[in-house]
Amino acid sequence: MEEKFYEKGLHFQCQQCSHCCRSEPGYVYLSRSDLTKLLQWANLNSEQFIEKYCRFVPYYDGTEVLCLLEKPGYDCIFWKNGGCTAYPARPLQCSTYPFWTFLMKSREMWDEESKSCPGINQGALHGKEEIEHCMRVYNANVPLRKGEI
C-alpha cells in the first residue's frame, strides 16, 4: 500500500488573511447541519435566512444546491471587518479547510494550494487521523438541493 503524502501529518495554521473568504469567486455549499447551525446563530427561520444570505447554484450532478451569497468583489456574505461574523456557526466546508479530499489527493495539489494560502505548511502539525477525519466530514457534508428545504 502506497504511503500517503500526509502520513506523518501536515502543518497548517490559519494566518487570518481571509483569502479563502474573499477576493475570488467561489461557492460555500450548505448542508442540512450547516443550515441548522446558521439558523440558530442568525435567529431566523429557513425562509428568512435563505432570502437574506443564500442562493441556489448549479451543482456537478446537474441539480441546484444551496450556497452562501457573495458580496460585490466576491467577499463571503459573512465576512466583515477582517473576519467571519458567523464564525461559531461557520459551515463545515469552512471548518475543514484545507483538509479537503481533493487537496489531499497529492503533494502537488497541497503545494498548489499553498500558493494562495499562507497558512499551509505553517504552524501546528495536524496528524493523519485528524486530516482523514476532516476529509470524512467534508465528504459527508452533502449540500441541500433545491426542494429539500
Structural domain contains residue 90: yes
> Residue 130 — pLDDT band, cuts 50, 70, 90?
very high
* Count of CB atoms situated within 10 Å of the CB of 11: 12
Is 129 part of any domain?
yes
Share the mean pLDDT of the chain. Answer: 94
48 grid coordinates: 428568512
Q: Which residue range is the domain that position 14 belongs to?
A: 10-140
Residue with cell 477582517: 82
Kindly state whether residue 1 falls inside one of the protein's structural domains.
no
**Global confidence as pTM:** 0.90
Q: What distance in Å separates the CA atoms of residue 135 and residue 104, rounded to the nearest whole number?
A: 8
Count each helix (H run) and each strand (E run) in the chain, helices first: 5, 6
pLDDT in tens, 32-85: 999 999 999 999 999 999 999 999 999 999 999 999 999 989 999 999 988 899
In a domain, 68, yes or no: yes
pLDDT given at position 2: 76
| Cα–Cα distance, 99 to 129 (Å, whole number) | 11
Q: Please tell me the total count of domains within the chain.
A: 1
Identify whether 147 is part of a domain. Answer: no
